[in-house]
């Protein structure tokens, strides 16, 4: 009988060991509720992820289900038992009612290659600012983030992002702030009439940079409820051979 118990315990132990072999991504929480927020607010939540495996966990991609959500990982590699913050910014401009959004985290976890985090928010009308909301210029970006993927050191990459004045007064882009000299922007026009579109071209120079890099470009405008809007750029730079 004792021999049977010992054998049974050995089988269970080996099974558990096999299950935890390799990297294993685990979320501290998979869902979050912002509750009621006013239209125009930008709210933030920090999810925590862990590596519960016995090998290095590599996060290869983090993206959101819509352009209204910006996602930024604290780091892209976690040693066993390490944790990292996934910062999520939700922009409620131009939205109303209950919102359900998803963040997708892709990693080298063989059992769970794509972890999903979700959040909800109920956007309510701010009655005090109804007229201002209707009459103001509204800067609506095509996206809040862009991933250039993997490139070689020294490569220059670019992408073009449309944006719209979704309001009823002229939109004026007063300033564009780049987080480093490696990023150069070119805007089609800084003055956009109601309902019209503009285009922002962003170039990233990877010279003298290696590894996973994130940079930001911020547009400052006369959108009174949301004067600063940021686009986060991600890129993985491989050393040139």
Pairing of strands 145-152, 228-238: parallel
pLDDT tens figures, 67-108: 778 888 888 899 999 999 999 999 888 788 899 999 999 999
Which pLDDT belongs to residue 191? 96
pLDDT level of residue 200 (50, 70, 90 thresholds): very high
Q: How many residues does the chain have?
A: 241
- What is the share, in percent, of the chain residues with pLDDT greater than 70? 88
Q: How far apart are CA 199 and CA 216, in angstroms?
A: 17
Note the pTM of the prediction, 2 decimals: 0.54
pLDDT tens figures, 166-182: 999 999 999 999 988 99
Question: Looking up tokens 């780049």, which residue turns up?
Answer: 178
Mean pLDDT of the chain: 86
pLDDT tens figures, 143-169: 888 999 999 999 999 999 999 999 999
36 is written with which tokens? 């009621």
Q: How far apart are CA 65 and CA 101, in angstroms?
A: 6
156 is written with which tokens? 């220059």
Query: pLDDT: is 101 or 40 the higher one?
Result: 101
3-class SS at 203? strand
């Amino acid at each position: 009988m004792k021999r049977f118990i010992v054998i049974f315990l050995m089988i269970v132990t080996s099974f558990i060991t096999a299950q935890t072999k390799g990297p294993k991504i685990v979320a501290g929480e998979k869902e979050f509720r912002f509750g009621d927020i006013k239209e125009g607010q930008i709210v933030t939540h920090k999810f925590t992820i862990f590596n519960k495996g016995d090998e290095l966990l590599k996060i290869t991609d983090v993206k959101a289900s819509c352009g209204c959500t910006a996602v930024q990982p604290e780091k892209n590699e976690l040693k066993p038992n390490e944790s990292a913050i996934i910062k999520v910014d939700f922009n409620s401009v131009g939205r109303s009612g209950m919102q359900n959004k998803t963040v997708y985290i892709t990693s080298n976890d063989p059992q769970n290659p794509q972890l999903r985090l979700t959040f909800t928010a109920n956007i309510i009308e701010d009655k005090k600012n109804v007229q201002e909301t209707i009459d103001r210029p509204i800067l609506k970006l095509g996206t809040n983030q862009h991933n250039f993927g993997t490139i070689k050191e020294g490569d220059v990459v670019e992408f073009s992002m449309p944006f719209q004045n979704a309001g009823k007064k002229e939109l004026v882009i007063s300033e564009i702030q780049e987080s480093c000299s490696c990023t150069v922007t070119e805007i089609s026009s800084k003055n956009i009439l109601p309902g019209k579109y503009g285009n922002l071209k962003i170039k990233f120079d990877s010279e003298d940079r290696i590894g996973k890099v994130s940079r930001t470009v911020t547009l400052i405008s006369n959108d009174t409820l949301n004067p600063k809007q940021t686009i986060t750029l991600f890129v993985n730079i491989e050393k040139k051979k």
